[in-house]
């Protein structure tokens, strides 16, 4: 299956890996009518090298997990939920301003700053919002502390981060980089590393972010519409920050609007309407193939100042955490693996979504990794309710913002 079939079947996750790997620039990524990034192939430039399909996270998914575990860790983990790991922590940046303004404790930003200042990396693949069009994400290679800080906070919109892999491949000799990405983006990067030794040597640190799902650009449009803010008047937007779990912060020509992250307008009944259907089918909400996995400590710790959940997976990932901790750049507390199972992403999503996948397989639609099958009736009812809403959105989404500016 090539990426044209992936797009046609609605399986594209918009990670941008196909753009980042194409040697002839035959692939470009554009926003489709449903508000997600999908690739477009220029047939005149395409040489049928098949690199794009070799690195696509959505192709050969079942096979990917075993191959990537062996490639990254040299073994397949017996723990199908957490994956290969060394230690588990809850922690935060010791910079109180950074901790307050970041998504959840500022750990990712702080670790990148530490790695940069200690000469471990020369830059980091991160994402900020564009200055000329603040509702569109801007993946880039940050090479200064200030640039890293400019990219802090979650981006609750599609981000084709891996389009920047080509810049890493073509960077100066001996330069080293960190990458920050969602589970699917990390898979795309690792698959490319498997066939590109140069990239493998250049990327020394992979930071994977926990993910519930990618939301389409219509999700942000919906917020603006409900708050009566015209898109053309938006000067900047931050999806997190200002304590935990934080606020969506919109600066516009008429002032500033703060919306609590968990406000029912967006993170309530309307939330599933803007999810990518691929994300509902995904069983990889926890980044299993990164050097470390980082996310909100939902159900584990609740501190309004903000904390991050960290899972170190490789010796190098553990070393970066240790270096930053020894320099007093971050504070961490060890937690037991069993404590992770109260985390909403780990406890519910991995199990619930696999029920949906089992259902699809039973009816013969698609084939994916199925990790679990024994889940509660209530979880099944909850999931089916959300699936129904997501399927309905394919019909309703074009009309939700019909009169939007």
* Average pLDDT of the residues in 114-126: 98
Domain boundaries, the chain: 3-216+273-347, 352-400
Q: For residues 382 and 372, which has the higher predicted lDDT (pLDDT)?
A: 382
Q: How many whole angstroms from its chain centre is CA 349? A: 15
The answer on pLDDT for 339 being more than 90 is no
Give Cβ neighbours of residue 362 (< 8 Å, ≥ 6 apart).
none
The answer on pLDDT for 335 being more than 60 is yes
Q: What is the pLDDT of residue 403?
A: 43
Note the pLDDT tens digit of each residue in 213-253.
Answer: 899 999 899 889 889 999 999 999 999 888 777 888 999 99
Q: State the pairing for strand pair 177-181/203-209.
A: parallel
Edge to edge, what strands does the sheet with 255-260 contain? 234-238, 247-252, 255-260
User: Using 50, 70 and 90 to split pLDDT, how confident is the model at 130?
Assistant: very high
Task: Give the separation between CA 201 and CA 213, rounded to whole angstroms.
Answer: 30
Q: State the pairing for strand pair 123-129/27-31.
A: unpaired
Exposure class string for 22-57: b at 16+ Cβ within 10 A, else e: beeebbebeeeebbbbbbebeeeeeeeeebbbbbbb
* Average pLDDT of the residues in 47-71: 89
In 253-335, the DSSP E strands lie at 255-260, 292-295, 308-312, 330-334
* Average pLDDT of the residues in 152-173: 96
Note the pLDDT tens digit of each residue in 258-269.
Answer: 887 766 666 655
Q: What is the pLDDT of residue 285?
A: 82
- Mean pLDDT score of the chain, rounded to an integer? 85
Q: What is the pLDDT of residue 276?
A: 86
Phi-psi region of 25 (alpha: psi -120 to 50; beta: other; left: phi over 0): left
- Flag the least confident range among 91-95, 324-328, 360-364: 360-364
- Tokens representing 288 are 């299993």
- Flag the least confident range among 43-52, 240-249, 358-367: 358-367
User: Nearest-CA neighbor of 153 among 185, 113, 121, 105?
Assistant: 105
Q: What is the pLDDT of residue 317?
A: 98
**Alpha-carbon dihedral of residues 87, 93, 98, 99, nearest 10 degrees?**
80
pTM: 0.86
The CA-based diameter of the chain, rounded to the nearest angstrom, is 56
* Average pLDDT of the residues in 375-384: 55
Task: Give the separation between CA 121 and CA 123, rounded to whole angstroms.
Answer: 6
168-177, 257-266, 359-368 — most confident range: 168-177
Determine which helix (DSSP H) or strand (DSSP E) holds 363, and give its type and residue range: helix 350-363
Sole residue written with tokens 């053309």: 232
User: Using 50, 70 and 90 to split pLDDT, how confident is the model at 9?
Assistant: confident
The answer on pLDDT for 355 being more than 50 is no
Helices (H), 74-169: 96-101, 107-117, 145-150, 165-169
Sole residue written with tokens 């309710």: 385
């Amino acid at each position: 299956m090539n990426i044209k079939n992936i797009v046609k079947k609605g399986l594209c996750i918009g990670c941008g890996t196909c753009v980042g790997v194409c040697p002839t620039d035959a692939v470009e990524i554009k926003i489709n009518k449903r508000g997600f990034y999908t690739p477009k192939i220029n047939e005149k430039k395409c040489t049928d090298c098949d690199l794009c399909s070799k690195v696509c996270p959505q192709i050969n998914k079942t096979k990917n997990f075993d191959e990537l575990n062996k490639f990254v860790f040299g073994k397949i983990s017996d723990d199908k939920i957490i994956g290969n790991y060394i230690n588990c922590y809850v922690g935060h940046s010791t910079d109180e301003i950074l901790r307050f303004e970041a998504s959840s404790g500022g750990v990712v930003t702080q670790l990148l700053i530490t790695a940069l200042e200690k000469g471990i990396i020369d830059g980091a693949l991160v994402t900020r919002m564009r200055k000329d069009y603040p509702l569109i994400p801007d993946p880039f290679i940050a090479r200064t502390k200030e640039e890293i800080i400019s990219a802090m906070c979650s981006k609750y919109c599609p981000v084709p981060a891996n389009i920047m892999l080509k810049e890493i491949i073509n960077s100066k000799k001996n330069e080293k980089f960190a990458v920050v990405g969602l589970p699917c983006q990390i898979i795309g990067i690792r698959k490319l590393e498997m066939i590109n030794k140069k990239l493998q040597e250049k990327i020394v640190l992979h930071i994977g972010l926990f993910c519930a799902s990618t939301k389409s650009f219509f999700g942000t449009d919906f917020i603006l519409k409900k708050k009566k803010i015209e898109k053309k008047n938006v000067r900047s937007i931050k999806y997190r920050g200002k304590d935990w779990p934080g606020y969506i912060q919109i600066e516009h020509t008429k002032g500033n609007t703060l919306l609590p992250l968990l406000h029912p307008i967006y993170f309530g009944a309307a939330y599933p309407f803007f999810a990518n259907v691929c994300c509902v089918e995904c069983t990889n909400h926890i980044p299993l193939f990164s050097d470390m996995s980082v996310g909100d400590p939902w159900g584990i710790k609740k501190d309004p100042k903000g904390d991050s959940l960290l899972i170190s997976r490789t010796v190098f990932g553990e070393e970066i955490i240790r270096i930053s901790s020894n320099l007093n750049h971050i504070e961490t507390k060890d937690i037991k693996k069993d404590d992770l199972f109260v985390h909403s992403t780990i406890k519910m999503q991995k199990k619930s979504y696999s029920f949906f996948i089992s259902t699809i397989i039973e009816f013969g639609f698609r084939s994916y990794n199925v990790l679990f099958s024994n889940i509660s009736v209530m979880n099944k009812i909850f999931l089916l309710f959300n699936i129904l809403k997501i399927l309905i959105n394919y019909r309703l989404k074009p009309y939700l913002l019909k009169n939007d500016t």
